[in-house]
A = this chain, B = another copy of it.
Amino acid sequence: MKNKKVLIVAAHPDDEVLGCGGTIARLAREGNTVYTLILGEGITSRDDRRDRGKRVWEIKELKKQVERAGKILSIKNSFVFDFPDNRFDTVPLLDIIKTIEKIKKRVNPDVVFTHHHGDLNMDHQITFKAVMTAFRPLKGERTREILCFETPSSTEWNTSSPLNYFMPDYFVDISRTLKAKIKALKEYKSEAGTFPHPRSPEAVEIAAKNRGVQVGTTAAEAFKVVRIIYP
């Protein structure tokens, strides 16, 4: 892949790194342009009732982390929106779809990466659904590939049922960019966990090696193909 525009649509800050940080870095290095669209602010679910005012400072801080992580991965531009953290179900789906369509128009991507429908996290599920509608394969649609990434904890903590299980069929060798992924991840200080938390750097590294082993390399990221069109 070369000279392509790539858009990552994620629900919360750090999901883009967890899901496809290694692939982002690799695609950028190989001459593609990568954008991220982050829908939610990622903070206010800590409160029983959402009080955005109270959390303004933290939200701002988290946005800075998005920038720093983006720089490490050579992301061209990160669009961060303000949908309420872990409360996407209180927003009409159509509003989220229209937000994505706006960025889509601006970026005009060839390839889109987003969450998997089966994630335990409801915001991830809703993000996936909105992407599916925003990128319908109509005549003239430029986007030729839609791929879903896995998000540590959210993906594997749902039920062990075909309803939501992540069963990848597309693998990207990230043996040369795993380091960048881990470095970017560490920028998200406010989101960090310690091993064996699935989003701790050690756990993320083990997961990447484990995916690598499945396809004969030392580190990989795994994806589920939604649709590939060979135009």
Contact = CB atoms under 8 A, between A and B. Distances in A.
B137 A215 contact: yes
By secondary structure, the A interface counts as loop
B216 A159 contact: no
How many of chain A's residues touch chain B, expressed as a range? 35 or more
A76 interface: no
A190 interface: no
A230 B165 contact: no
B160 A133 contact: no
A171 to B, nearest CB: 5
A210 interface: yes
Interface in A183-231: 195-198, 203, 206-207, 209-210, 212-218, 224-231
A53 interface: no
A15 interface: no
Given A158-B132, A172-B230, A216 B167 contact: no
Interface of A: 1, 45, 48, 86-87, 89-90, 92-94, 98, 117, 120-122, 129, 132-133, 136-141, 152-153, 156-165, 167-173, 195-198, 203, 206-207, 209-210, 212-218, 224-231
B203 A117 contact: no
B98 A48 contact: yes
A86 B210 CA distance: 26
A135 to B, nearest CB: 9
Given A92-B87, A159-B226, A165-B162, A196 B218 contact: yes
Contact of A92 (B89, B159, B207, B218): B89
B138 A170 contact: no
A76 to B, nearest CB: 20
B137 A169 contact: no
